[in-house]
Structure formats: structure tokens, C-alpha cells
Amino acid sequence: MKRSHPNFGDLSPTHKEKKRRRGRTEDKEAKSKKKECKRQRSSEKQQKPDECCREEKRKRQESDEGAAGPVNKQAQPPRPNPLSISSYNFYSKLGAGGFANVTLAKLGVKGSYVAVKSIKKTAQTTDDSLLTEANLLKIARDSPFLCQGYAAFQTQRHAFFVMEFLSGGSLEDELKDQGTLPIERVRFHSAEIICGLQFLHGKGIIHRDIKPMNILLDHQGHAKISDFGLAEENIFPGDTTTGWAGTLEYMAPEILHKGTYTAAVDWWSLGITICDMATGKLPFNNSGNTKELIHSIKYKEPKIPNGLDGYLKHLLYKLLKRKPKRRLGLRGDIRWHSFYQSINWVALEKKELQPPFQPRAVSTWLGNTN
């Protein structure tokens, strides 16, 4: 996808390349066949000119009849266009926030369920930010721990992103239902989030909005990072960026100080998310007073309950280091932390480990789809 072009297209990473390769192959084969036919016709004309002419006439007639096709054959209906909003049938709303809505949909009648994110264009939504999100959805198709993108397109007033439908809901939904999650779920989900973050950071991408709402679960219970609307590209080791981005309760202190920052902000947000999963509470002041919360994040130590597993407490303190360069994830390999000693990372990345729970039934999301 060319970032300079304001229009988005199908996000399939190999579609255009396959088409070009197929076109080159077909052109070569066609030219070769044409030369061979010409040589044969020339040879036949020299030997039997009358017979050759009759044979060519017969072939032309058969070709014309074949192109016309049987008179009684029914015309096939056109396939739905995945880059047109009118091609989708919409059902229940899956989520909303800011200027965006996410709705359950199908492409045509026989298509699979997808999630369509619609973003209303405003002064805050630039073409560049929309193209960034579309590009990241395309890149996400290379990792099983990121929400997959299928297509992206726009109208005059809205941009649309077509993504996979993850029927297990979000970690936020789970926390609302259960309050806290068992430690095995905390370990498993956070390990899969780590795989997703390490993939993004390896591509020079900072997510900047890691939180339970943006961690979705598939029908098996695997976690996937979603919502790349605030992501920043081209931030490799040694690079920094600036700007207020994220959700306040999960923001790293360096963002609140309005200075430069690195991918370490994602590891801080992961620490807050893990604490939320394990305790149902945030480790910094959450009285509802914004100024107090900002001051707490910037200057105070996190409040982590004493009753937590010792390895988990140690992990949280390492992730919530106020100095980014000392923060686990950016410094040292988080996979080697004792909290994850039971995780087989190779099997995890291949999706060979069984998730520790079964998500809710898909039907609870669908509502009335008649």
C-alpha cells in the first residue's frame, strides 16, 4: 500500500504480487503458444493450403459458439465488492469510542462474520493517521497475536476498516463479568500479549494504547492486540517520539511529562493491564480526580496488594519502573522472568498451547441476525 495515496484498497498482502506474477507467466505462455501456432499454420499452409483454411474457419466458428455459451444458461450474480460499504450486511454493535464504531457484519449473504470499524472524519483524523492504521492492519496479518485486517476503504465522510471478528470479547468484558482473573489466565493472556508487542516493536511500531479493552479473545480463548488508531511507526531502538497518546490510567509517566519516549511506554501499559487482570484494581490513584491520578503516575510508587503471587509482584514492579531504560521489556528478555517459567514459548507462538478457559458462545454477540 502506498502511503501517499489517500484511497485504501484490499489489504491482502500477496494479492497484487500474485496478480503481477500470474500476469507475467500468462503473457509468456501466450506468446510462446502464439509463436508455435504461427509456425504450425505456416507449415500446414505450405503443405495443404485448402485444408488449412477450412480448419481455421471451423475453429473460429467453434470459438464464437463457445463464447456465446448456451442460450439457456443463467447469468451468475456479481460477487460483492469488499471495498464498498453497500456490500456488507450489518448486525449488532460490538463497540464504540471517540469518533469510531465497530459493528458485526457480513460481506454479502454467504460471507463470514467480520468486524467493521467506521471512523468519522474530523479535523483530528488526518489521512496520514488513517493510512497508518490501514498499513498496520496489513502488517498484523503476519502475527497470530494481532487482530487481522482484511480490507480498508473510505467515503467522503468515513473511513472503514474490515477486520476479523473475535467472538470471545475483550479482557475488559471478562473483568467486568468476573472482577479478577485466575493467575493461570493472567499468565497465559499476558504471555500472548508479549508475543504481539515484541512483533510490533521488531517492526518499529509502538502501540501506545495497550489496555484490557484493546485485548480481544478469539473463539478458543487466545488473546490478540487490537486497535492501532494511536500507533506510531518507524520507532526502532534508539528512536523516540512525542505526543499525548493513550488512555490516562494506562499511560507511562514519560508521556505525562510531555517529553520524548520509546517503546518502553507499551511495557508500562502492559504492567498496568496485568495488575488490572490479577487484582481488578489499578496500581495508581483512581479516585476519579484527574490531577491526582496524573501526579500519582508521575511521582508515586505503584500500590500492589501483598497477597499476590511473589513472582507476579516482582514482574509488576519490573514493568512499572519509572525510568524507561530500567523497565523490563525494553531491558532484558521478559520471557525469562520467573513468572513465565511454565510457558513453552515455542509452542505458544505456534498456538499449540491450550488456553486455560473457554470463551462465551458466539451467539451472545450476534443478536438478531435474521
Kindly report, residue by residue over 320-341, the tens digit of the pLDDT. Answer: 999 999 999 987 799 999 999 9
Give the number of other CB atoms < 10 A from CB of residue 206: 25
> Grid coordinates standing for 159?
473511513
pLDDT at position 363 over 60: no
**Fold agreement between 85-164 and 171-363:** no
**CB–CB of 135/186 below 8 Å?**
no
Half-sphere exposure of 281 (CA within 13 A, CB side): 11
Q: What is the pLDDT of residue 13?
A: 45
**CB–CB of 225/288 below 8 Å?**
no
Q: Which of 128, 209, 239, 276 is catalytic?
A: 209
> Grid coordinates standing for 22?
500470474
Specify the residue for cell string 492501532. Answer: 228
pLDDT at position 211 over 80: yes
Burial of 203 (C-beta count, 10 Å sphere; 0-12/13-18/19+): middle
Percent of the chain predicted with pLDDT > 70: 76
Q: What is the pLDDT of residue 6?
A: 42
CA separation for the pair 271, 313 (Å, rounded): 10
Residues 6+ apart with CB under 8 A from 74: none
Q: What is the pLDDT of residue 123?
A: 73
Q: Which amino acid is at 265?
A: V
209 in catalytic set: yes
Long-range contacts of 275-279 (CB under 8 A, 24+ apart): 275/302, 275/304, 275/316, 276/175, 276/212, 277/171, 277/175, 277/180, 277/181, 277/185, 277/186, 277/189, 277/190, 277/212, 278/180, 278/181, 278/183, 278/186, 278/308, 278/312, 279/180, 279/304, 279/305, 279/308
Q: What is the pLDDT of residue 99?
A: 77
CA separation for the pair 165, 172 (Å, rounded): 17
The partner residues of 292 in beta bridges, in order of sequence, read none
Q: What is the pLDDT of residue 286?
A: 74
**CB–CB of 137/163 below 8 Å?**
yes
Q: Return the domain boundaries, the chain.
A: 85-164, 171-363
Pick the CATH number of 171-363 from 3.30.70.2660, 1.10.510.10, 2.40.37.10, 3.40.1130.10: 1.10.510.10
CA separation for the pair 135, 137 (Å, rounded): 5
pLDDT at position 71 over 60: no
CA separation for the pair 296, 279 (Å, rounded): 19
Q: pLDDT, tens digit, for every residue of 48-68? A: 555 555 666 666 665 555 555
User: Which band of pLDDT confidence, cut at 50, 70 and 90, is reported for residue 19?
Assistant: low
- Coil, helix or strand at residue 294: helix
Is it true that domain 85-164 has CATH number 3.30.200.20?
Answer: yes
CA separation for the pair 14, 182 (Å, rounded): 41
121 appears as a binding residue in the annotation? yes
Dihedral in degrees, nearest 10, Cα atoms 195, 199, 202, 204: -120
